[in-house]
Amino acid sequence: MISVSIVLLVLVCISILLTIGEIYVTYTQGRKYADKSDIRLLTDILGQIHDRNMEENDLLKSNLNIHTGQNNHIFNERKNAILAYFSSLNTWMWDGLNLTVQDYNHVNFEEITKRITNIKDYYNHANISFAIMQLTIESEQLVKIGYEAMMDTLKLHHFVENTMKNYQKTLSWEKTLLDKITSKDYDFFKLSPDMKSFYERQARENEEEKRRVLEGYNDRHWELFKQAIADRNLFRDVAKAELSELENDVYSKSPEKTDDLSNILKAGTSLAKDIRDLSGRREYAYNRESENKF
């Protein structure tokens, strides 16, 4: 009787232990699957965050490239405006107003008309380029210096134009007088004393006018030209400094911003990758631990 009770007790204990073991196994397996499910869910979330982060990074880079492109465009517009004005100013001065009056006489005086027309065209081009520069350049100092260069060059322009027009009239009269004297149909010696006196007086006055123009032209021209060149050189130096400063703002600061942003983006991407790797390692370690247990 006692042995049967003991056997029954042993069987009951064994049944209880098996039940407890089954419950433990079921609990452990359920926990394992739950943890693996949580890890996969976390990994998927991190993957979505990583993909969204990369999209935002690409958008930021694209916006930065657009901003840099706009700065480059502004810099090029201002540089081109300064160069266009400086070029037109030099063309006006050197090709138009660097004119020697001694190069003309009663043979080629008609060319003066074309030369004066060219000078006016150069002046108009300089005016247009200066107006564009006014709208493009923010530096009031540079615009002021450019205006002063325009005004002093215009003084030279007026002097050259007025002198050449008067000189052309003088040469035209000289040509007319010579044509009459040398014409086969015109006998100067048969003229009346009054007409002879008139022509002689006109010839003397004409020669005196030529002498006056030739003597005073070079000195006055050099005085005005020298001032115009000084203004042009000042504009050149200030413009170079302005362009250098503007170039530094566009090309020096932008790379710094790009580097800073790139570092931030790289750090964010690296952090997301580290989290994903950590999650993967955790899942791998858990699987190995579970395998060792069972």
Q: What is the mean pLDDT for each group of 10 consecutive residues in the chain (294 residues)?
A: 56 64 60 58 65 69 64 85 96 92 86 93 96 92 96 96 89 78 66 72 78 84 95 96 83 52 53 52 51 48
User: Which residue has 């170039």 as its token pair?
Assistant: 247
* Cα–Cα distance measured from residue 272 to residue 278, given in angstroms and rounded to the nearest whole number: 10
pLDDT at 222: 93
pLDDT at 171: 86
* Cα–Cα distance measured from residue 105 to residue 108, given in angstroms and rounded to the nearest whole number: 6
3-state secondary structure of 1: coil
What's the pTM?
0.63
> Residues 68, 181: contact at Cβ < 8 Å?
no
pLDDT at 197: 76
* Cα–Cα distance measured from residue 277 to residue 294, given in angstroms and rounded to the nearest whole number: 26
pLDDT at 245: 85
Amino acid at 17: L
pLDDT at 155: 96
3-state secondary structure of 31: helix
* Cα–Cα distance measured from residue 250 to residue 172, given in angstroms and rounded to the nearest whole number: 58
> Residues 168, 113: contact at Cβ < 8 Å?
yes
